[in-house]
Amino acid sequence: MGKIWRVSGPLVIADDMKGAQVYEVVEIGEEGLVGEIVGLEGTKAIIQAHEDTLGLKVGEVVRGMGRVLSAELGPGLVGSIYDGLQKSLLTLGENIGPFIKRGAKASALPRNKKWQFTPKVKAGDAVSQGDIIGTVPETNLVEHRIMVPLGIKGKIKEIRQGDYTVEEPVAWVEYNGEVKELTLMQEWPVRKPRPYKQRSDPSGLLTTGMRILDYMFPLALGGKASIPGGFGTGKTVALQQLARWAQTHLNIYVGCGERGNEMADVLSSFRELKDPNTGRLLQEKEIFIANTSNMPVVAREASIFVGITMAEYFRDMGYDILLVADSTSRWAEAMREMSGRLEEMPGEEGFPSYMGSRLSSFYERAGMVKCLGSPEREGSVTVAGAVSPPGADFSEPVTQNTLRIIDALYALDVSLANKRHFPAISWLTSYSLYVDAVKDWWNEHDPGWEHTRAGALRILQQEAELEEIVRLVGPEALPEGDKLLLLTARMIREDFLQQSAYNEVDTYCAPAKAGLMLKTIMKFYELTQEMLNSGAGMESIRSSAMVYRISRMKDIPNEDFEQKVKELWSEMEQSLVTGKRVP
Amino acid sequence: MDFSSLYVKEGRAISKAKGALLIAESIPGIQFNEMVDVRLGNGEVKSGQAIDISEDATIVEVFGGVSEVDLVGSTIRCKGETLKLPVSNDILGRIFNGMGEPIDGGPRLIPEDYLDINGEPMNPALREPPAEFIETGISAIDGLNALVRGQKLPIFSGSGLPHNRIVAQVIRQATVKGKEERFALVFAAIGISYDDASFFMRDLERTGALERTVAFINTASDPVIERISTPRLALTAAEYLAWKQHMHVLVILTDMTNYCEALRELSSMREEIPSRRGYPGYMYTDLATMYERAGRISGKEGSVTIMPILTMPDDDITHPIPDLTGYITEGQIVLSRNLERKGIYPPIDVFLSLSRMMKEGIGPGKTREDHNNVFMQSYAAYAEGCYLREISTIIGAEALGERDKIYLTAADEFERRFISQGESEKRTVENTLDTAWGLFSALPEEDLKLIKEDFIKKYLPKYRK
């Protein structure tokens, strides 16, 4: 128990704090604002306040809580909306209305709700940390597996079946004569990665329904990706699309220092949209963290770590989880603000020198692992973080530090966005190091993948080179072969890479459809090259009805696609070749 | 009765005065960000705010600067509260300065409530996504960058560009289709010239809008530090009207560049570590805490829509002020010097402009079913034309193919007939969309790939009777 010695924005220094530890949670002042100790100096504790410090006085009380910042984990997480400190925003809304007053408290998991618990082990069974002792059907899409908390082992003395709240004991474990109660809920310090048995390499495709990702720059389960882009390039829409359609067991959307209206938009769309495979509402497999830009700065860091901790917890149940964070730059800025107040020696552009390691401590928690405990299971956390570089200049420190950690880059391009080419992911600067990791997956589903992908990327690269010549001599002065290449490249760009997030059909493109779409364009290129060789002119190719038909492929629903595209191919074979071939 | 409130805390030992800061011996019981009165030796009183408090010292920021402060005779008197705006029903039609004091010669308000000018963050889970289309009567906005209620959509301008005239036109013309609702305007002039401020006030008076307006005026000659409080006062008034009086409020903040300059000035006085170009590292957060006050609340009547104006230094959109603003706001309307030189009014650069909330506000029942398709096709065609225009400056228009020439002409026509319009011309959204269809008829029909076939049959002039 200490008292406030100094207040300067989110920085509070408290005196008489002997015995406190770094990262211990404190309650500041009479209102009990949440803060975290970031440093100790003699009897003084340096505290970052997670809530607005307006109106605090020197001498007010500061209470150490004797624990570090932790997340509550248990049934009730799925479908919830939290702030950066894992307070339930809907509960806060019910209690205090539409504006958030500081110091207001709300627990993460509902305390009065009963969950139907079905045991998977029986009395007398030996259990240890990570073992699944039972399940709770949390939503229609997520079965919550109750695990033995870390550090507990022994023999099950008693286990019950029935409806329980998260605080009521459901099982008793005995070890060396000591009996411990297990509830449906546990806690975990957010800055500490949850342990696992063994780490494996990312593998298997994380299906996103976005063609440029799935087909061109795939993301593997357990991978880490970054989406940097200037304002208006569609970072948020791209991340929302990922969170909507990624074929995982559960997605976590962290809105860190971003717009409130967009958050409202995401929330309302998840209440309406349905998962393409199960037909259930998307919010049944989603957790939201909303720490908008006007909410306290320091809580941005907490929001990121609370998110990744929840992701790891569900990973430990043997699930594949995707976490998207929009935007990590806001978190980095929060670090900069705090570091400035602490008068630390600044690194590049005022960011603290430890920013790089802090960012890695988040991204490195992604991965595919063999989980602790029995039964044997594998889970993964995939992370995609947005970066908002000032002036869309990728040489700035946050982007550069992020690039050192991640293995897939989806670079958003301002000029593409200005032309309204969405998603504005540049095919020239983006990359994915997971091509090998997903090769097996693709070979199983679409044997020609590597070949088609490489061919299309080559055409796009050649287009970029030709583009420079066109700027000097004009498009008409090119040889016919190059004109055809430009036409094909344009078709790849407009009819394949461009994908509308707002078109009901196009918003989710199954990988099988994506493959067939690109193959159709490549087939068109092959056939028309033959036409050129046999003396046909570019005009007849450009005016072919097939060009228009191909541009409408996007509108064909996933289910009918294979049938429809076969018809298209046979038409192409007839109309693009017949009568034009020289004997 | 609480006797402690009668006890006025006062500090006398001021050890340092520089720029706008006073450093004094610790004043017991002072609150962080509390308002204080600084009483000078000559009896003059200045307002200030405690920005850093500790057992060692209290640092006070003085509004209006520390000129004439002497270290011996001056005292700091605590007011016991943070900066608050008195509000009541009578606030409409009034004009205030950057401290919230009336400057229109009228009486002081009899306050119904005092509101903290920093507001409280809106719970994102209880926000209602903005979706009501505001018809501004300007084609380049309504057709391509539609504004919706609850949105924050800034105008990125340059010095000498007609942003004031465009905003005045928006104020005159903005309506929500088919609705008769309580509407109010909150206008904040931040460090702009007296002439610019009086242009707006005259225009409001002329159109009779003044009586549903609250204005906060801080002109270029007023104290710099009050530029920090001016927009906050305006937003506090807006929130009061929206959430307590259930009105739909449009907030105009001009010019936010002056606000950011003031923030930089203050930050350097506080000796903080600067970020890009000397602006403080927290400028994003600082701007966000204001712009995020726009929005709608589910289950509540009323809304706050914010339209800030900022002039981009040297027309540079990557300058920290427009850059950080663009990351916070839901799009931007960018003015182009090129179009202005061509004599096009309003000179709106439709490529750099964007409205993120547009898709929610348009479509059947809101504007018209073909709106989204027309929007996408217009962009595609105009982009194509502009690209060809660029090429043709090198190789000459003659070297282009027939199809390309059509697009080149279409781009010119688009600027002349669609973007350009009169300053008092109010186009309905149907009118705007039909103008676009008129331009599409010059293009090859099979090129209209982004429009649904039924819409082509329904709206393309040649199929219409």
What's the rounded mean pLDDT across residues B420-433? 95
Q: How far apart are CA B256 and CA B218, in angstroms?
A: 12
Residues of B in contact with A271 (CB under 8 A): none
pLDDT of residue B82: 79
Contact criterion met (CB < 8 Å) for A99 and B123: yes
Residues of B in contact with A57 (CB under 8 A): 29-32, 53
pLDDT tens profile A88-116: 999 999 999 999 988 899 999 999 999 99
| pLDDT greater at residue B220 or residue A9 | B220
Residues of A in contact with B399 (CB under 8 A): 474, 476-477
Give me the domain span that covers residue A137: 115-184
Closest alpha carbon within chain A to B282: A337
pLDDT of residue B37: 87
Kindly state whether residues A523 and A537 are assigned to the same domain.
Answer: yes
pLDDT of residue B42: 84
Kindly state whether residues A33 and A79 are assigned to the same domain.
Answer: no
Kindly state whether residues A251 and A316 are assigned to the same domain.
Answer: yes
Kindly state whether residues A450 and A322 are assigned to the same domain.
Answer: no
* Percent of chain A whose pLDDT exceeds 90: 79
Q: Between residues 375 and 434 of chain A, which touch chain B (CB distance below 8 Å)? A: 388, 390-393, 418-420
Q: Does residue A354 fall inside a structural domain? A: yes
List CB contacts of B338: < 8 A, sequence separation 6 or more. Answer: B347, B349
pLDDT of residue A579: 46
Query: Is residue A578's pLDDT more than 60?
Result: no
Fold of the domain built from segment(s) B7-81: Elongation Factor Tu (Ef-tu); domain 3 (2.40.30)
Q: How far is B317 from chain A (nearest CA, A)?
A: 8
Does the CB of B422 have a partner CB in chain A at under 8 Å? Answer: no
Kindly state whether residues A122 and A95 are assigned to the same domain.
Answer: no
Kindly state whether residues A209 and A88 are assigned to the same domain.
Answer: yes
pLDDT tens profile B383-405: 999 999 998 988 888 888 888 99
Q: How far apart are CA B63 and CA B48, in angstroms?
A: 5
Does the CB of A330 have a partner CB in chain B at under 8 Å? Answer: yes
Does the CB of B324 have a partner CB in chain A at under 8 Å? Answer: yes
Confidence of residue A189 (pLDDT cuts 50, 70, 90): very high
Omega prior to B461 cis, within 30 of 0: no
Kindly state whether residues A180 and A202 are assigned to the same domain.
Answer: no
Question: Which domain CATH number covers A476?
Answer: 1.10.1140.10
Identify the bridge partners of residue A575 per DSSP, sorted by sequence position.
none
pLDDT of residue B3: 40
pLDDT of residue A540: 87
B37 burial type by CB count under 10 A (0-12 exposed, 13-18 middle, 19+ buried): middle
Contact criterion met (CB < 8 Å) for B122 and A100: yes
For residue B303, give Cα distances in angstroms to A319, B149, B216, B247, B443.
42, 7, 20, 7, 41
Question: Which domain CATH number covers A298?
Answer: 3.40.50.300
Identity of the residue in B125, B129, B399 whose CB atom sits nearest the CB atom of A89: B125
Domain boundary among A408, A436, A464: A436
Confidence of residue A239 (pLDDT cuts 50, 70, 90): very high
Closest alpha carbon within chain B to A234: B356
Kindly state whether residues A304 and A338 are assigned to the same domain.
Answer: yes
Residues of B in contact with A99 (CB under 8 A): 119-123
pLDDT of residue B202: 93
pLDDT of residue B1: 37
Predicted model pTM = 0.92
Q: Does residue A582 fall inside a structural domain? A: no
Residues of B in contact with A337 (CB under 8 A): 281-282, 285
Query: Is residue B7's pLDDT more than 70?
Result: no
pLDDT tens profile A343-376: 888 888 889 999 999 999 999 999 999 999 989 9
Closest alpha carbon within chain B to A258: B328
Q: Between residues 68 and 107 of chain B, which touch chain A (CB distance below 8 Å)? A: 82
Residues of B in contact with A552 (CB under 8 A): 449
Nearest to B275 by CA among B260, B288, B254: B260
Identify the bridge partners of residue B306 per DSSP, sorted by sequence position.
B152, B251
What sections of A426-560 are H helices per DSSP?
439-445, 449-473, 480-491, 511-533, 538-542, 545-551
pLDDT tens profile A489-508: 999 999 999 999 888 899 99
Q: Does residue A580 fall inside a structural domain? A: no
Identity of the residue in B53, B127, B323 whose CB atom sits nearest the CB atom of A390: B323
Q: How far is A55 from chain B (nearest CA, A)?
A: 5
Domain boundary among A393, A410, A436: A436
Residues of B in contact with A263 (CB under 8 A): 124, 127
Contact criterion met (CB < 8 Å) for B56 and A265: no
What's the rounded mean pLDDT across residues B39-59? 87
Contact criterion met (CB < 8 Å) for A292 and B354: no
Query: In chain B, which segments carry CATH 2.40.30.20?
Result: 7-81
Identity of the residue in B120, B295, B376 whose CB atom sits nearest the CB atom of A101: B120
Question: What is the residue-wise DSSP string for B190-226?
Answer: EEE-HHHHHHHHHHHHHTT-GGGEEEEEEETTS-TTH
Q: Which CATH class is domain B85-361?
A: alpha beta
Kindly state whether residues A286 and A361 are assigned to the same domain.
Answer: yes
For residue A517, give Cα distances in angstroms to A93, A180, A350, A507.
47, 58, 47, 15
Query: In chain B, which segments carry CATH 3.40.50.12240?
Result: 85-361
Does the CB of A167 have a partner CB in chain B at under 8 Å? Answer: no
Query: Is residue A542's pLDDT more than 90?
Result: no
Mapped onto helix, strand or coil, the DSSP state of residue B69 is coil
Kindly state whether residues A87 and A215 are assigned to the same domain.
Answer: yes
Contact criterion met (CB < 8 Å) for B449 and A551: yes
Does the CB of B127 have a partner CB in chain A at under 8 Å? Answer: yes
Does the CB of B292 have a partner CB in chain A at under 8 Å? Answer: yes
A207's tokens:
């299906």
| pLDDT greater at residue A301 or residue A55 | A301
Kindly state whether residues A264 and A221 are assigned to the same domain.
Answer: yes
Beta strands in A210-364 (DSSP E): 224-228, 250-256, 286-291, 320-326
Kindly state whether residues A37 and A127 are assigned to the same domain.
Answer: no
Q: Are A458 and B380 in contact (CB under 8 A)?
A: no
Residues of B in contact with A334 (CB under 8 A): 285
pLDDT tens profile A279-320: 899 999 999 999 999 988 889 999 999 999 999 999 999 999
List CB contacts of A170: < 8 A, sequence separation 6 or more. Answer: A117, A119, A134, A146, A159, A160, A164, A182, A183, A184
Interface test with A, best of B56, B84, B127 (most A CBs within 10 A): B127
Interface test with B, best of A13, A56, A58 (most B CBs within 10 A): A58
Q: How far is B294 from chain A (nearest CA, A)?
A: 9
Question: Which domain CATH number covers A44?
Answer: 2.40.30.20
State the helix-helix crossing angle for A355-363 and A299-315, rounded to 10 degrees: 30
Q: How far is A121 from chain B (nearest CA, A)?
A: 39
Query: Is residue B140's pLDDT more than 50?
Result: yes
pLDDT tens profile B87-130: 998 999 999 998 888 999 999 889 999 999 989 999 999 999 99
Confidence of residue A580 (pLDDT cuts 50, 70, 90): very low
Q: How many domains does chain A have?
A: 4
